[in-house]
Amino acid sequence: MRFKLDSRIKKDTYFVCISNISYVLLMNDSRYPWIILVPKLEDASELTDLYGEQIKNLYSDIELVSDYFKLKYPQSLINVAKIGNIVKQLHIHIVARNENDFSWPNPVWGIGKPHKYSKNDAKILIEELKQYFIKKYPQND
């Protein structure tokens, strides 16, 4: 069996790049800076399905996205979550939150309707994120 990105995740995101372990995806909701990491592993649904270097590489990706958000949105709190109630494929949400965001202090899931990025805004943000990851993973550009 070959790795395949869940169709629901694919429908709701823009592809940014691939790290050593994850697909890096931008959630198509401009209300929040929101990245989803999907480890490119067959049949992984829980963090405990990863071992050794896999978990280290995933944490490195989480740290990299968090650092990016801290630089770009310095007043934000960085939320990292693995929920997986509807989409079973292992995926990690990283969201930069602040007291002025749409759903503060509640979770971002299920609150209002997503505000889709314009194609141009998405393109700019994706390129910025991609460049940030390429600095870390130059072999994947």
pLDDT confidence of residue 140? 54
Domain residue extents for the chain: 7-134
Residue showing tokens 């910025």: 128
pLDDT confidence of residue 133? 85
The pLDDT tens digits along the chain (141 residues) read 588 999 999 999 999 999 989 999 999 999 999 999 999 998 899 999 999 999 999 999 999 999 999 999 999 999 999 987 889 999 999 999 999 999 999 989 888 899 999 999 999 999 999 998 888 777 654
- Backbone phi, psi, residue 97, to 5°: -115, 155
- C-alpha span between 67 and 73 (Å, rounded): 10
Tokens of 4: 């395949």
pLDDT confidence of residue 30? 96
Superfamily of segment(s) 7-134: HIT-like (3.30.428.10)
